[in-house]
A and B are shown apart, each in its own frame.
Chain A
Amino acid sequence: MTAAAHVHTIKTYGPDRCTGFSPIPAMSMVSHAAGARFINLIGGVMNSFYDWYADLPVASPQVFGDQTDVPESGDWWDATYLMMWGSNIPVTRTPDAHWMVEARYRGTKVVSVSPDYADNTKFADEWLPAQAGTDAALAMAMGHVILKENFVDRRVPFFEDYVVQYTDLPFLVTLEQRPDGTVVPDKFLTATDLGNAEAETSDAAFKTVLIDRDAGTPVVPNGSVGFRYNEVDEGKWNLDLQGVRPALSITDAASYSGTTSTVELPAFTDATGEGSVVHRGVPVTEVAGRQVTTVFDLMLAQYGVGRAGLPGQWASGYDDVDTPYTPAWQEEITSVPAQAVARIAREFATNAEKSRGRSMIILGAGICQWYHGDVTYRAILAMLMLCGCQGRNGGGWAHYVGQEKVRPITGWAAMAAATDWTRPPRFMIGTAFWYMHTDQFRSDGYSSDSLQSPLAQGHLEGMHTADVVAKSTRMGWMPFFPQFDQNSLDVAEAAIAGVARGEAADEAQWVADRLKAEDMRFAVEDVDAPQNWPRTLILWRSNLLGSSAKGEEYFLKHLLGTHHNVMGEDHAGSRPKDVTWHEEAPEGKLDLLVSADFRMTSSTLLSDVVFPAATWYEKHDLSSTDMHPYVHAFTPAISPPWEAKTDYDLFRLLAEEFSRQASAHLGVRKDLVATALTHDTPGELAQPGGHAPDWKGTDIPAVPGRNLPELKIVERDYAAVGQKFSAVGPLAEKLGFTTKHITYDVTHQIRQLAQKHGVFDSGAAAGRPAVDTDARMAEAILLFSGTTNGELAVQGFETLEQRTGVQLADLARGSQEKRITFADTQAAPVPVITSPEWSGSETGGRRYAPFTINIERLKPFHTLTGRMHFFLDHDWIKDMGESLPIYRPPLDMHRLFGEPQLGQRGELSIAVRYLTPHNKWSIHSEYQDNLFMLSLSRGGTTVWMSPQDAALIEVSDNDWVECLNTNGVYVGRAIVSHRMPAGVVYVHHAQERTIDVPKSETTGRRGGIHNSVTRILVKPTHMIGGYAQLSWAFNYLGPTGNQRDIVSVVRKRSQEVRY
């Protein structure tokens, strides 16, 4: 029946209406890859998870051009100053917490930033209890102190040498004079602007410019993204300044004449989120007819750190309460004493200077999962970059959230995406998928302009967030599926016929013409029309509806069409313009919800079909993590009991049954696949300057791969899916496997695999090496990855040497003969090999720290400038006022959505910040239903609250309370604890409906999960794409499913509960 539902959906609506969700491949790579392989072979859609979980720090692509490359926990030992910021190490990194404690015995100072007296705070030497959501104010004030004391009062050579080589601080930014006379920072100056011979070079619009301190002239240094892809610049993509000493400030340039300009900068100091403008002077010079300054000069202006002779309003001292971003200013917001901020910032920088960058900040979900979490992260990363800490053992950021690091990434990606048979795959950004398909956009009664900078120029004016999704889709920024309002199989065949009739040069352009002429629409533009609904959804290794479903009740209402507790109304008054509004919102879009699990969860209970899965002790698989450098195995202790099957076997059988049915109903079809402009491909050069005018409703032509998604025709032999599933396909040798723009030739590995596993003797996979068991797929994953196959690591580094012109292959040469087999990982955990798949070096037994290769070998970051970025110049970032690190308060849910104001009282109720951190008795929803954990903890649903709030609403410990807002209701027992600050409740993440959840007084229906009270809030800047590091890639960049800004009313309820 499950196979039949897929065949029918593909035939009737198109393959991109078949969807799958399974998170975190690293936690069991084969199990993930098996299901993803089935979905991708049929042309279905795999949803992302990292951004959806809001674990993805958007600041990471913005600043580093890389996603979550972080040190192993063994490197905490190397730190000599260690901050923990929104990451509760003993609870959420339990097996690694000892490193932090042991580092203290070694003399490392440990500082904790958390709103509550958290478990990790007990280990800290000092605690900065910043109010929830205000962390960026604290970080900006620390940045203020660091800049003033180390870059102005005294210029620390160690810091200065670092920032001019590895960050964008010396690069030139143009100043824009607006018609009303105001001056604002605009864009990076590029070689194109120079108008000389440099402007004629390849990809000049992506080559950024700095000033030679000694000569006072503009220089286009190697290493920007303009040097990365074209043939002419091979060997020049590196950070070698070739003797040029960049001017950090314009004032450093020999040619500086003393000219200054007052720029206007946005600030968001008001708790309502309303923006204001500050005026600050910067030194300027003229280059090729343009007024320019450096990012560094703008940074001092932004942080309010004054220098003699510059006009504007500046901080009068650390005790200046009124001027952002002084220590005294932040005290009003965070409640952290100003003196403590200045002292910690000073210690942090001094330690970095003396230890050469060994100040580290462990940071995590407590500060990441806010609407403006990216801004908070940028303010914190700025501290690390200013102090020369990134790319050092014992220094830099250490962001830990999900188990996201698949160390053998190339092999896993190939198996999961089935790129050995067909490419490109259909990968979707999870947050936008759920936001649109669960109709949460209908409840979003605000437009993006309410969050804009006061200096905005209207790129987001009046845009509903659904319009943001639609625009991001049509501009090729982010993917969206289903693609079109028609079956993509029919579109492909029509396009081929159209080209044959001579209507267009190729199929992609034929489709572009139809879109431009509005003969065909993107599905996102009428997402509620039945032909655009997702029809099938398979969940495995996932408990979507008991854990990550932000806006759970909207899932139940619109996607599943079942009982729900949604209490709000659609915001019909604020409708999107580009997305069709249906008077009646659909309920029950899915035809079939399938889940595979070994335990009963909220998701299995809501599924139409449940497959019994093997547990982690009943299958072969692989595991890796950020926290340690080893890969190691899952091995079956027993065969799967009863009718349980491994995920591998389940999907193999499903693929085979699917093909049996498809041979009569589908056969061989052409499919047209739309993919976004992708990071680490030349597609990221599509939209220079981050300025891309819309083709919709204008005269601008729509060009695939420029201002429209890439459009490719692929062939799908639906009767062969079963056979292809179990064999490695021929594209492996023909095209190789590519990770971060390094293509690995795996011809030798294919031969090795064929010898080891044998080849199929007939059918679609004739002659192809077998991966027909879970253990064999594990072997293939290890064989095709540089981290686990020294031959490929060396090959990858040699490829990269060609492009960069710097020496790299020696990092892996000592491991060239080393191949980590599946049997090795079953014998003992095996440390991985240094590989260009990641940015750090383990060579010679070093602990892994990210970006050490960039810093030590001058390999560029994957950003516009090739350096780490303080400044971002995309049109939308500018309009949101976030070009530079900044503080933005948590969303004012009252002002934006009419939710109760924080602290608002009712009879026995109070409105509070509703936070959902993790607890020590479960890992997501797992273990919270385990008998042992239920015995150790209070068990069932709970709400942690402060004694102050409890007293106000007459609640004693263990009383039943309800947390509610328009999204839904949660019922639990109060845990009244002095650990909690007033005004905040903690409802621990993923306490499920399956354990002791009574009916709510509010609706009469059973209370929900923690996410029943939350709702998806999409930040428009997360949807940017097509521009250098701000380009999409799967789990690299996408809108976060943040949930920490939520406000809920907590009220005492009748103590008699009914189930």
Chain B
Amino acid sequence: MATPPIAPGTDGPASDALLKIGQFFTRWDQSPDRRAVFRSGGRAGDAFYRNRWSHDKVVRSTHGVNCTGSCSWKVYVKDGIITWEAQETDYPSVGPDRPEYEPRGCPRGAAFSWYTYSPTRVRYPYVRGVLLGMYRQAKEEVGGDPVLAWQAVVSDPEKRRAFQ
């Protein structure tokens, strides 16, 4: 059976489920579609904005992406989660009568923290399934020696082709 096409956009069953869970943890007044929350009071009402920019620690790091920038960045962490980054500004001065190196950075570097929890993140080791199956079987057959098991797989041309 063909599944109905998913409309473009970010809304869908998955986001609905997430918002539902969110309501369980933060019991705020919400609009019926759960897309807006209502809060009252001065300090209590604007807690959201304060929390948005609060953090537990700031760590110096950079990006190893071969861009030659080698810019130093402040990485912000809240509750053990990387939240965002901002440009460091503490490059030693290059002297009077000329501009400075600080701040350095570009929009690409400023977008890096997205990768930490992104859908493209590699979270666990992967092995090609066919290969792992053959390797495990071979390992059993040769009595557990990994080297002999590998040899058994790759010296069999058919097995070798099967995982390549």
Q: Do A and B truly interact? A: yes
Which residues of A are at the interface with B, using a C-beta cutoff of 8 A? 1, 3-5, 7-8, 11-12, 23-24, 26-28, 31, 74, 77, 92-96, 98-99, 102, 400-403, 541, 560-562, 588, 590-592, 597-600, 604, 607-613, 615-618, 621, 623-628, 630, 632-638, 641-644, 661, 664-665, 826-831, 845, 847, 921-924, 926-927, 929-933, 936, 994
Chain B residues, CB < 8 A from A628: 70, 91, 101, 104
A selection of 10 A-B contacts at a CB cut-off of 8 Å is A4-B146, A27-B70, A401-B68, A626-B68, A632-B60, A637-B75, A828-B90, A923-B66, A933-B108, A994-B120
Are A627 and B146 touching (Cβ within 8 A)?
no
A4-B164 CB under 8 A given contacts A28-B64, A403-B67, A831-B92: no
A847-B120 CB under 8 A given contacts A609-B128, A924-B65, A927-B111: no
In angstroms, Cα B70 to Cα A628, docked, is 8
Q: Which chain B residues (59-73) contact chain A, with CB distance < 8 Å?
A: 59-72
Are A1 and B92 touching (Cβ within 8 A)?
no
In angstroms, Cα B62 to Cα A628, docked, is 14
Are A610 and B112 touching (Cβ within 8 A)?
no
Are A95 and B64 touching (Cβ within 8 A)?
no
Chain A residues, CB < 8 A from B8: none
- Nearest B residue to A29 via CB reads B64
In angstroms, Cα B60 to Cα A663, docked, is 41
Chain B residues, CB < 8 A from A632: 60, 62, 70, 72
Q: Contact string, B51-87, partner A, CB cutoff 8 A, digits 1/0?
A: 0000001011111111111111001110011100100
Are B161 and A829 touching (Cβ within 8 A)?
no
Are A923 and B122 touching (Cβ within 8 A)?
no
A612-B118 CB under 8 A given contacts A95-B106, A617-B113, A845-B95: no
A611-B147 CB under 8 A given contacts A77-B98, A560-B164: no
Which residues of B are at the interface with A, using a C-beta cutoff of 8 A? 57, 59-72, 75-77, 80-82, 85, 88, 90-92, 94-95, 98-99, 101, 104-108, 110-116, 118, 120-128, 131-132, 135, 145-147, 149-151, 154, 160-161, 163-164
- Nearest B residue to A591 via CB reads B154
In angstroms, Cα B71 to Cα A489, docked, is 45
A617-B114 CB under 8 A given contacts A24-B66, A597-B122, A831-B92: no
Distance in angstroms from A817 CB to nearest chain B CB is 18
A637-B154 CB under 8 A given contacts A608-B128, A930-B114: no
- Nearest B residue to A547 via CB reads B66
Chain A residues, CB < 8 A from B60: 632-633, 635, 826-827
Distance in angstroms from A972 CB to nearest chain B CB is 20
- Nearest A residue to B97 via CB reads A77
Looking at the complex, which one of A102, A637, A643, A921 makes contact with B82 (CB distance below 8 Å)?
Answer: A637
Most chain A C-beta atoms within 10 Å of own C-beta, residue among B70, B108, B123: B70
Distance in angstroms from A559 CB to nearest chain B CB is 10
Q: Which 5 A-B residue pairs are closest in the complex by CB-CB distance?
A: A28-B64, A625-B70, A95-B104, A642-B123, A4-B146
Looking at the complex, which one of A627, A827, A926 makes contact with B69 (CB distance below 8 Å)?
Answer: A627
Are B70 and A26 touching (Cβ within 8 A)?
yes
In angstroms, Cα B17 to Cα A346, docked, is 70
Are A617 and B69 touching (Cβ within 8 A)?
no
Distance in angstroms from B106 CB to nearest chain A CB is 4
Distance in angstroms from A306 CB to nearest chain B CB is 43
Looking at the complex, which one of A7, A95, A642 makes contact with B147 (CB distance below 8 Å)?
Answer: A7
A599-B118, A637-B77 given; name 7 further pairs at CB < 8 Å: A599-B121, A609-B127, A624-B70, A627-B69, A632-B62, A638-B82, A926-B65
- Nearest B residue to A3 via CB reads B146
Are B125 and A612 touching (Cβ within 8 A)?
yes
Are A617 and B82 touching (Cβ within 8 A)?
yes
Looking at the complex, which one of B71, B81, B146 makes contact with A638 (CB distance below 8 Å)?
Answer: B81
In angstroms, Cα B160 to Cα A921, docked, is 40
Distance in angstroms from A409 CB to nearest chain B CB is 15
Chain A residues, CB < 8 A from B114: 930-932
Are B125 and A638 touching (Cβ within 8 A)?
no
- Nearest B residue to A27 via CB reads B64
Distance in angstroms from B42 CB to nearest chain A CB is 33
In angstroms, Cα B110 to Cα A610, docked, is 27
In angstroms, Cα B69 to Cα A627, docked, is 7
Most chain A C-beta atoms within 10 Å of own C-beta, residue among B61, B91, B131, B161: B61
In angstroms, Cα B58 to Cα A827, docked, is 12
In angstroms, Cα B124 to Cα A604, docked, is 12
Are B122 and A604 touching (Cβ within 8 A)?
yes
- Nearest B residue to A846 via CB reads B95
Are A630 and B92 touching (Cβ within 8 A)?
yes
Chain B residues, CB < 8 A from A626: 68
Chain B residues, CB < 8 A from A28: 64
In angstroms, Cα B98 to Cα A222, docked, is 39
- Nearest B residue to A825 via CB reads B60
- Nearest A residue to B68 via CB reads A403
Chain B residues, CB < 8 A from A636: 59, 61
In angstroms, Cα B147 to Cα A74, docked, is 54
Chain B residues, CB < 8 A from A5: 150, 154
- Nearest A residue to B125 via CB reads A611
Chain A residues, CB < 8 A from B107: 932-933, 936
In angstroms, Cα B127 to Cα A607, docked, is 8
A102-B108 CB under 8 A given contacts A604-B122, A611-B125, A826-B60: no
- Nearest B residue to A77 via CB reads B98
Chain B residues, CB < 8 A from A96: 69, 104
Most chain B C-beta atoms within 10 Å of own C-beta, residue among A31, A94, A588, A627: A94
A661-B146 CB under 8 A given contacts A613-B122, A628-B70, A643-B124: yes
In angstroms, Cα B125 to Cα A604, docked, is 11
Chain B residues, CB < 8 A from A926: 65, 108
Chain B residues, CB < 8 A from A12: 151
Chain B residues, CB < 8 A from A23: 66
Are B61 and A617 touching (Cβ within 8 A)?
yes
Are B59 and A635 touching (Cβ within 8 A)?
yes
Chain B residues, CB < 8 A from A588: 160-161, 164
A623-B64 CB under 8 A given contacts A8-B150, A8-B154, A830-B92: yes
Looking at the complex, which one of B99, B108, B116, B150 makes contact with A921 (CB distance below 8 Å)?
Answer: B108
Are B111 and A561 touching (Cβ within 8 A)?
no
In angstroms, Cα B101 to Cα A664, docked, is 55
In angstroms, Cα B115 to Cα A3, docked, is 29
Chain B residues, CB < 8 A from A615: 112, 115-116
Chain A residues, CB < 8 A from B80: 638
Are B120 and A600 touching (Cβ within 8 A)?
yes
Chain B residues, CB < 8 A from A77: 98-99
Looking at the complex, which one of A826, A847, A924 makes contact with B94 (CB distance below 8 Å)?
Answer: A847
Are B135 and A599 touching (Cβ within 8 A)?
no
Looking at the complex, which one of B62, B128, B164 makes contact with A561 (CB distance below 8 Å)?
Answer: B164
In angstroms, Cα B72 to Cα A102, docked, is 22
Distance in angstroms from B125 CB to nearest chain A CB is 6
A616-B112 CB under 8 A given contacts A102-B99, A625-B68: yes
Distance in angstroms from A80 CB to nearest chain B CB is 14
Are B122 and A612 touching (Cβ within 8 A)?
yes
In angstroms, Cα B118 to Cα A994, docked, is 14
Distance in angstroms from A966 CB to nearest chain B CB is 24
Looking at the complex, which one of B99, B123, B154 makes contact with A99 (CB distance below 8 Å)?
Answer: B99
In angstroms, Cα B85 to Cα A930, docked, is 15
A829-B64 CB under 8 A given contacts A599-B118, A599-B122: no
Looking at the complex, which one of B72, B98, B122 makes contact with A600 (CB distance below 8 Å)?
Answer: B122
Most chain A C-beta atoms within 10 Å of own C-beta, residue among B57, B82, B113, B126: B126
Are B68 and A608 touching (Cβ within 8 A)?
no
Are A617 and B121 touching (Cβ within 8 A)?
no
Distance in angstroms from B68 CB to nearest chain A CB is 4
Are B123 and A633 touching (Cβ within 8 A)?
no
Are A633 and B61 touching (Cβ within 8 A)?
yes
- Nearest A residue to B161 via CB reads A588
In angstroms, Cα B92 to Cα A777, docked, is 25
Chain B residues, CB < 8 A from A637: 57, 59, 61, 75-77, 82
Are A625 and B147 touching (Cβ within 8 A)?
no
- Nearest B residue to A97 via CB reads B106
